[in-house]
């Protein structure tokens, strides 16, 4: 599934006056027939429309990551019937709209960050099936893992409603942890879960049973504190797909993450040029499509 290259790549070939998906310059950097229309049509189907071009670019990368995540986690959840996936593609040979997860020049698109999570050896994934949300665990490490999982319904203000806990040992096959009828979720609730294993590793994810455009997201009121090339991001309300961008080439050690109400996260940016002084921009799903 395609996305647009990041703004740092786009700015190398397009002036601000060309920051429009139908501009000839942008269309000349899309060599897949119908590719731009497919990106836009899919976005309209699942999200509220981003009015600003840079928000459109951000959202194109989020939906690319979600498309590949949906496929990869589905096939991984079938283990041992399915024992692996290959995705197209890794990188670009020029700055272009494409299937790549690395921009031309090597900067990470948001999908590449998301792939670190959905390709992690230990995966807990939500599988919608026949009116139920099945929570399923997959362990690709050589040893059995004991998992403790907490499941909640989450409102848009970040309020969590407990739906249960489960402990299970996961080894060579995918294991169903819990089945929750979708009717247990109110229309304004998403499915959220958090897990811990016996070594102290943790993980979490949020599953939206309906298209994201169906939810009335609230302003997350993202704030940041910058210490050199480290940026700590905080949210007062639910912040989906938080993305930090820099105006110079480089690499973040994490990106495209979710923050619950009151949470914070510190991310480090390593600029390609060590002497660069980057300016950071924050985005999340609300700021890109509701503001």
pLDDT at 278: 92
Integer Cα distance of 41 and 24 in angstroms: 19
Is the pLDDT at 138 greater than 80? The verdict is: yes
Residue 136 φ then ψ, to 5°: -130, 140
How far is Cα 283 from Cα 289, in angstroms, rounded to an integer? 10
Q: What is the pLDDT of residue 67?
A: 98
Give the integer Cα–Cα distance in Å for 36 and 13.
17
Q: With a cut of 80, say whether residue 140 has pLDDT above it.
A: yes
CA atoms within 13 A on the CB side of 185: 27
pLDDT > 70 fraction of the chain, expressed in percent and rounded: 100
Q: What's the pLDDT score for residue 38?
A: 96
At 166 the pLDDT is 97
Average pLDDT over residues 155-164: 94
pLDDT band at 291 (very low <50, low <70, confident <90, very high): confident
> What pLDDT sits at residue 1?
96
Say what the pLDDT of residue 120 is. 95
pLDDT at 279: 93
The helix (H) or strand (E) run that includes residue 179 is strand 175-181
For residue 288, what pLDDT is reported? 98
- Across the chain, mean pLDDT equals 96
C-alpha span between 264 and 253 (Å, rounded): 15
Reply yes or no on whether the pLDDT at 128 is more than 90: yes
Confidence (pLDDT) at 275: 94
- In whole angstroms, how far apart are CA 120 and each of 74, 116, 123, 257? 14, 6, 6, 15
| Order of all β-strands in the sheet with 175-181 | 122-129, 132-139, 175-181
Which pLDDT score, from 0 to 100, does residue 84 have?
Answer: 87
Q: Taking residues 234-251, what's their average pLDDT? A: 95
Mean pLDDT of 39-59: 97
Rounded alpha-carbon distances, angstroms, from residue 157 to 135, 217, 256: 23, 8, 19
In the prediction, which pLDDT does 79 show?
97
Instruction: State the pLDDT at residue 206.
Output: 97
Whether the pLDDT of residue 210 is over 90: the answer is yes
Q: Using one digit for the tens of pLDDT, what is the confidence trace for 76-123?
A: 999 999 998 999 999 999 999 999 999 998 999 999 999 999 999 999
Please state, in angstroms and rounded to a whole number, the distance separating the CA atoms of residues 234 and 224.
6
How far apart (Å, rounded) are the C-alpha atoms in residues 129 and 209?
11
pLDDT in tens, 7-34: 999 999 999 999 999 999 999 999 999 9
So what's the pLDDT on residue 181? Answer: 96
């Amino acid at each position: 599934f395609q996305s647009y290259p990041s703004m740092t790549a786009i700015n190398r070939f397009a002036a601000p006056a060309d920051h429009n998906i139908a501009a000839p310059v942008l269309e000349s950097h899309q060599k897949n027939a119908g590719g731009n229309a497919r990106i836009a049509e899919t976005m309209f189907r699942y999200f509220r429309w981003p009015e600003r071009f840079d928000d459109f670019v951000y959202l194109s990368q989020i939906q690319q990551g979600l498309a590949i995540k949906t496929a990869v986690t589905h096939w991984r959840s079938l283990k041992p019937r399915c024992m692996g996936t290959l995705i197209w593609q890794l990188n670009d040979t020029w700055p272009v709209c494409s299937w790549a997860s690395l921009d031309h020049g090597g900067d990470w698109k948001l999908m590449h960050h998301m792939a670190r999570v959905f390709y992690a050896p230990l995966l807990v994934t939500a599988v919608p099936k026949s009116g139920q949300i099945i929570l399923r665990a997959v362990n690709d490490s050589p040893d059995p893992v004991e998992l403790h999982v907490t499941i909640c319904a989450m409102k848009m203000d970040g309020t969590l409603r407990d739906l249960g806990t489960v402990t299970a040992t996961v080894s060579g096959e995918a294991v169903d942890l819990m089945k929750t009828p979708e009717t247990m979720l109110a229309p304004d609730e998403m499915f959220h879960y958090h897990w811990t294993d016996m070594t102290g590793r943790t993980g979490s994810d949020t599953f939206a049973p309906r298209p994201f455009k169906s939810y009335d997201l609230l302003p997350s009121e993202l704030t940041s504190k910058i210490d050199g090339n480290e940026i700590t991001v905080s949210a007062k309300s639910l912040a989906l797909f938080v993305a930090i961008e820099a105006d110079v080439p480089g690499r973040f050690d994490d990106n495209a993450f979710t923050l619950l109400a009151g949470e914070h996260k510190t991310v480090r940016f390593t600029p390609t040029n060590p002497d660069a002084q980057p300016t950071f921009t924050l985005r999340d799903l609300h700021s890109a499509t509701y503001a």
